[in-house]
Amino acid sequence: MLTRPVKESIAAWIEADGIDPQSFSRTLKAWMSRGAPAGTPVHRLETGELTVAEFDALLAAELTTTDGRPVDPVGVLSRLFAGMRPDPEMFELVEELRELGVRVALLSNSWGNTYPRERIDGLFDPVVISGEVGLRKPQAPIYELTLTRLGVPAGSALFLDDAEPNVLGARAVGMRAHLHVDAPSTRAALAALVPGLRPTPNGAPV
């Protein structure tokens, strides 16, 4: 949610590496869909049970290219995420919420990503990364851990996520939850709940 949509980075990687899009979609569905069995490579990556290199090899083995070349397993995830960029509107929103006295936590399922800790550690209370705690969304324990570290009951927290299964997981533990589509709609949803929060970014026309 703090970055531009990951699908943009994935599309650029697929084109640059000549990946057959259907092979990637098929693999992602098998490893991430609601009906996927527990312990898929994605699940184990997110909880830190697989290293990035191990996951790269497993993913590359499932993919095909449009011209029949084997997929280079070295650095697959690095190339997949190479196009990810921060969303300045979302960072501004978090800063405004903090200025209004709202406590904000960051809860992320990590795919071995490198996080800008010098930026996020001072912005969020707390930062919970799946690979660091051995838990993952949408399982209940990681929401409960985050609520404990945040120091609020589930009914007093609003969870935001761009993946519907994670939103449903938050609701299952008693949190209110909003499906993030883009920064303007998320800001509007929060502005309806948080006194003093502007429905548009600072400096933008109302």
pLDDT at 33 over 70: yes
pLDDT at 67 over 70: yes
| Tokens matching residue 128 | 């919970």
Domain of residue 155 covers 88-191
pTM: predicted TM-score of the whole model, two decimal places? 0.91
| Same domain (yes/no): 93, 186 | yes
Show which of 80, 105, 139 is a domain's final residue.
80
pLDDT at 88 over 90: yes
pLDDT digits (tens, 9 = 90+) for 44-54: 999 999 999 99
Q: 21 and 103 in contact (C-beta within 8 Å)? A: no
Q: For residue 204, what pLDDT is reported?
A: 59
| Same domain (yes/no): 73, 151 | no
Q: CA–CA separation, 119 vs 124, rounded Å?
A: 9
| Same domain (yes/no): 159, 123 | yes
pLDDT digits (tens, 9 = 90+) for 141-199: 999 999 999 999 999 999 999 999 999 999 999 999 999 999 999 999 999 999 999 99
Q: Are strands 176-179 and 106-108 parallel, antiparallel or unpaired?
A: unpaired
Q: Name the residue among 94, 174, 156, 155 with its Cα closest to residue 127.
A: 94
Q: 127 and 38 in contact (C-beta within 8 Å)? A: no
Show which of 80, 98, 127 is a domain's final residue.
80
Q: For residue 1, what pLDDT is reported?
A: 87
